[in-house]
Amino acid sequence: MAEKGHAVDLARRVVQRLDVAFASGALQRTPFLDQALDDLLAALDQEDGQKLGGKSAEASRFILRAIDRGLDDA
C-alpha cells in the first residue's frame, strides 16, 4: 500500500492483491477486512464510461489507510 499513484488505481490493485492473499491462505478474512473491502468496492463502483475522481479517490485513500492499520493489527 506504500505504492505511489492515483488512489483509485492503487485501490484496485490492493483489492486484487487481497483477493489473492485470501485465496492462497496467506491472509485470513476478518469482519473488519470484509467490511473495509465492501466499502472500498462501493467507492470504486462506476457506470460504464464514468470516470472516478474526487470523492472516490478521497474515500479510497481513507479506506486504504484503515485497511493498512487493520493489517498491521492482524
pLDDT tens by residue, 46-55: 655 555 556 6
Tell me the CB-side half-sphere exposure of residue 38, using CA atoms within 13 A.
7
pTM, whole model, 2 decimals?
Answer: 0.73
- The count of structural domains within the chain is 1
Burial of residue 60 (CB within 10 Å: 0-12, 13-18, 19+) is buried
Cell of 43: 467507492
- pLDDT at residue 4, as a whole number: 64
In a domain, 61, yes or no: yes
Name the DSSP letter for residue 17: H
Q: Does residue 23 sit within a domain?
A: yes
The verdict on residue 63 lying in a domain is yes
Q: Pick the closest to residue 12 from 56, 48, 54, 66 (CA basis).
A: 56
- Mean pLDDT over 15-38 rounds to 92
> How many C-beta atoms surround the C-beta of residue 52 within 10 A?
19
Asked whether residue 39 is assigned to any structural domain, the reply reads yes
Q: For residue 1, tell me if it sits in a domain.
A: no
The whole domain housing 24 covers 7-73
Q: Is residue 62 part of a domain?
A: yes
